[in-house]
């Protein structure tokens, strides 16, 4: 199959720089405790960050048409979040490319708390799959032998 034949029209239509808007939530003490329990690390510093800030901003806008399974992550950490503080995340499409016939979207999110402290910046490396199309990572699964 040619590389061109696998390119989704939806992926083509998403521009680099696309603004994914902002989203805010209060990081509660319960959320911190739940995260620390499930990862068996009672002192985890970045509870929701290991998290899915980029993905959640992306899906808020594109869930009906596109999936971005996480193939990698680039993050920088500045100040650990404090329970009880409101966190605002903002995001954008930072890049897009085709590699080995697969389409990727790089989704960037920045998190800042209510006091203006920069918490973290993360980039999700998403293997883009148009909803309703064959799962792009089915081919990768074959390579994995799953």
Partner 1 sequence: MMATQLKVGDRLQAVTHEVTEDKMVEFEKVVWDRGRNSHSDINVAKADGIQRTIASGQNQMAFLHEMMERNFGDAWVYGGKISARYIHPVYAGDHLTANGLVTEVAVVDGKPRVTLQIWCETQDGRKTSAGTASAGQPADARSWIDGGKQAAA
Binding-site member from 41, 84, 99, 133 for partner 1 (CB under 8 A):
41
| 28 contributes a contact to partner 1 by CB under 8 A | no
Report in angstroms the alpha-carbon separations of 60 from 13, 14, 71, 121.
17, 14, 20, 19
Which of 32, 120, 129 lies closest to 75 in space, CA to CA? 120
- Strand intervals (E) in the chain: 19-26, 66-67, 70-77, 86-99, 102-113, 118-127, 129-130
**Cβ 63 to partner 1, closest distance in Å?**
9
# chain residues binding partner 1, by CB under 8 A: 41
Binding-site member from 3, 12, 19, 34 for partner 1 (CB under 8 A):
34
Question: Do β-strands 102-113 and 86-99 pair in parallel, antiparallel, or remain unpaired?
Answer: antiparallel
d(CA 70, CA 123): 10
Binding-site member from 14, 18, 27, 56 for partner 1 (CB under 8 A):
56
Count CB neighbours of 27 within 10 A.
21
Binding-site member from 75, 90, 94, 130 for partner 1 (CB under 8 A):
75
d(CA 8, CA 129): 8
Please report, as residue ranges, which positions from 80 to 99 form the binding site for partner 1 (by CB under 8 A). 80
Nearer to partner 1, 7 or 137 (CB): 137
Nearer to partner 1, 11 or 54 (CB): 54
| 43 contributes a contact to partner 1 by CB under 8 A | yes
Binding-site member from 16, 19, 73, 99 for partner 1 (CB under 8 A):
73
């Amino acid at each position: 199959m040619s590389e061109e034949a696998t390119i989704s029209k939806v992926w083509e239509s998403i521009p680099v720089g696309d603004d994914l808007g902002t989203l805010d939530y209060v990081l509660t003490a319960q959320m911190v405790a739940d995260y620390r329990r499930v990862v068996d690390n009672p002192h985890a510093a970045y509870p929701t960050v290991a998290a899915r800030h980029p993905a959640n901003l992306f899906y808020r806008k594109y869930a009906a048409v596109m999936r971005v399974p996480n193939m990698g992550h680039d993050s920088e950490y500045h100040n650990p979040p404090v329970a009880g503080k409101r966190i605002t995340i903002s995001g954008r499409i930072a890049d897009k490319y085709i590699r080995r016939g697969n389409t990727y979207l790089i989704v960037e999110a920045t998190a800042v708390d209510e006091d203006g402290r920069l918490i973290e910046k993360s980039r999700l490396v998403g293997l883009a799959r148009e909803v309703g199309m064959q799962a792009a990572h089915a081919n990768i699964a074959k390579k994995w032998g799953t």
